[in-house]
Every structure is written in structure tokens, then in C-alpha cells.
Amino acid sequence: MSSTNRGTDRNKFDYYVTPQKDIVNFLEAFKRNHNDLENVKNVLDPSAGGDQNNEMSYPEAIKKVYFNWNVETLDIRTDSRAKHKGIDYLKRNISEILPDYKPDIIFTNPPFNLAMDFIKKALNEVRTDGYVIMLLRLNFLGSKDRNKWLKNNMPHEIYVHSKRMSFTKNGGTDSVEYAHFVWKKGSKSNTKLFLLDYK
């Protein structure tokens, strides 16, 4: 999702390795703000990533905070470490792939140019009162194209990463600020904003 090194072959699927430490930082804050997470059983990462040199970021980060969540993984790339490879999430119903699986949470870093499609589909597939969590650029809120939809579907919570995230091995960052956006299916409450602390 980072805008660093756009256009290279490696990133033809908009694939960038999300830093696990930033996901863990979010998850720890999310856990402090919710007392219903003990009821979570099934989590879906529909853009799980990973390759021969990198772990899948979200499933591995989840293990460090929630040991009992069952995380199912999909990815469009055939070189991904996902359990279900070569699957375009936007073109398949989750019930076709996992017929007895109802996600409590759908949680990923989607390709930015397809983020709206991912969010809408995930909100349709997650259980009632379930969570859809997406890592997005903070300027996701500023688009005219998304304005009407967002007015009727504002996130339940937004967790802003106050330190710029690095998607490269050399630790470099771009000029983009990121946040984990949280939707709770069926909730129409006012959006809560959290600024994540960094040690």
C-alpha cells in the first residue's frame, strides 16, 4: 500500500510488506478498547501477502496478541504464503472457499486502489456486530468519490499511526500517514479517533 517504489514488477499487485510491529501496536490498543474480543473465533485476511522471504504480516502479528483466533488467509498472488493462493477475493464469495466459515473479523492491508471494494465486500461478509479492519492512508477520508458513501458508513474507530510506517527493508518512509480504520457491522455510532503511541 505504501507509495514507495511504485511501478516495479515486485509491486504489480500493489504488494508491500506491512511492518508487524505497527500491527501489534494497533492490536494492543484495539484490545484495550474492546471487551468483546474473547468471543472472536474466526478472522479472515483476504490479502495476506507473504512470500519466500517474508512472513504474512497480519496472521503473524495476530499470534503475538491473540493466540486463539483462527486466521484464514487468501491472496491473489500464487507466490503468497496464504493457505488459499491465486484467489481474487473480490471475485469470489467467501462461502465458496470456506463454506462453514463466518468471519468475526476481516482484517488486512488492501491494495489502495481497491480499498473501497474490499471494505464493501468485507462488510457484507462479516457477521453482524463483526469488525472490518483495514490499513489505509489517512487521506482515504478526503476523496470526493468516497464522500457520499463515507457519510453513511463512517468507521466505528480510526487508529492513527503517529509515526510514519516503513514498507521497505532499509527503514525508509514515504510522505504518507496511515491509520487502521475499524468498521463495526450494524453500528452507527460516532467515530472515535485514537492516536497510537510509539515507544
* Residue 189, pLDDT score: 84
Other CB atoms within 10 Å distance of the CB of residue 51:
15
* Residue 171, pLDDT score: 60
Half-sphere exposure of 183 (CA within 13 A, CB side): 25
* Residue 170, pLDDT score: 63
* Residue 168, pLDDT score: 63
* Residue 82, pLDDT score: 97
* Residue 88, pLDDT score: 96
| Domains contained in the chain, CATH given | 9-196 (3.40.50.150)
* Residue 8, pLDDT score: 37
pLDDT in tens, 97-143: 998 899 999 999 999 889 999 999 999 999 999 999 999 999 999 88
* Residue 198, pLDDT score: 75
pTM: 0.89
Mark 15-37 as b/e (b = at least 16 C-beta within 10 Å). Answer: bbbbbbebbbbbbebbeeeeeeb
Q: Which residues of the chain carry a pLDDT beneath 50?
A: 1-11
